[in-house]
Amino acid sequence: MTKKFKYSLLLLIAAFILIPQPVFAMHIMEGFLPLKWCLFWGAVSLPFIIWGLNSINKTISINPRAKMLLAVAGAFTFVLSALKIPSVTGSCSHPTGIGLGAILFGPAPMAVLGTIVLLFQALLLAHGGLTTLGANVFSMAIVGAFSAYGIYTLLDKINAPKWLSVFLAASIGNLLTYITTSIQLALAFPATSGGFAVALTKFLSIFAITQIPLAISEGILTVIIFNILTSYNYNELKELNVLKEEQ
């Protein structure tokens, strides 16, 4: 990784960190979910985390140089998912940053990186929570990662333009994260009249106005970072089978 690339990446991260941020966030906060749902989502997420650890160990053993790109993917996820952008509904939304790592390494490792990111945010930024960690991991680091990887892989197989594959993977992965979070909240807090369906409609509407343009923005940023990585880490991406020989 050249000095020019490192400086560009540091400047980009610094720019995002310096953006003013309100003190409320979309990750499900500490103590908000009933205990049974905390335990349920934790149990559902655990196998993916174990799978991700095995996948990371395998990737590093085959390609030790991938450690730097793993660190970049983790940093990208941390910075973007720490941003808190207020919505017109009085709540707020944020990017996820999970799509880039899913494209580079597949979805399983992002369950691990996402867990680490969400744990640090809960401890250091009061963003999310420990009891709700499993729910937040499932929505962002599992559903978001697997959907982004699936979209990217499908489009890549039909030889769609690389920028379009990356853009749609990151954007749709972001949107599906919030759909999943809305489902989690609706399951935990069904409406008194109308039950799950009414509650889901309410939770989806809270974030829709903000999240759609935010997902588009995350898609564009992910394309920019991917292009930078392609320019300065071509060989590493080729070894990870992200790029083909002719690209």
Question: Residue 43 maps to which CATH number?
Answer: 1.10.1760.20
Are 75 and 13 within 8 A, CB to CB? yes
SS3 label, residue 74: helix
- Domain for residue 117, yes or no? yes
Residue 169 has pLDDT above 60, yes or no: yes
Domain region containing 159:
29-239
- Whether 10 is in a domain gets the answer no
Kindly report the pTM of this predicted structure. Answer: 0.83
Q: Does any domain span residue 74?
A: yes
Tell me: pLDDT of 3 over 80: no
Cα–Cα distance, 165 to 124 (Å, whole number): 34
Please report the pLDDT score of residue 65 as a whole number: 83
Q: How confident is the model at residue 23 (pLDDT cuts 50, 70, 90)?
A: very low
Q: What percentage of the chain reaches a pLDDT higher than 70?
A: 83
Greater confidence (210 vs 225) lies with 225
- Report helix, strand or coil for 146: helix
Gap between the Cα atoms of 247 and 228, Å rounded: 14
157 domain residue, yes or no: yes
Specify if 58 maps to a domain: yes
Residues 4, 27: Cα–Cα separation, whole Å: 34
**Position 210 pLDDT exceeds 80:** no
For residue 5, tell me if it sits in a domain.
Answer: no
Q: Flag whether 17 is in a domain.
A: no
Which of the residue ranges 44-48, 130-134, 188-192, 202-206 would you say has the lowest mean pLDDT?
A: 202-206
Number of domains in the chain: 1
In a domain, 11, yes or no: no
Q: Which residues contact 8 (CB under 8 A, 6 or more apart)?
A: 228
Q: Is the pLDDT of residue 90 over 50?
A: no
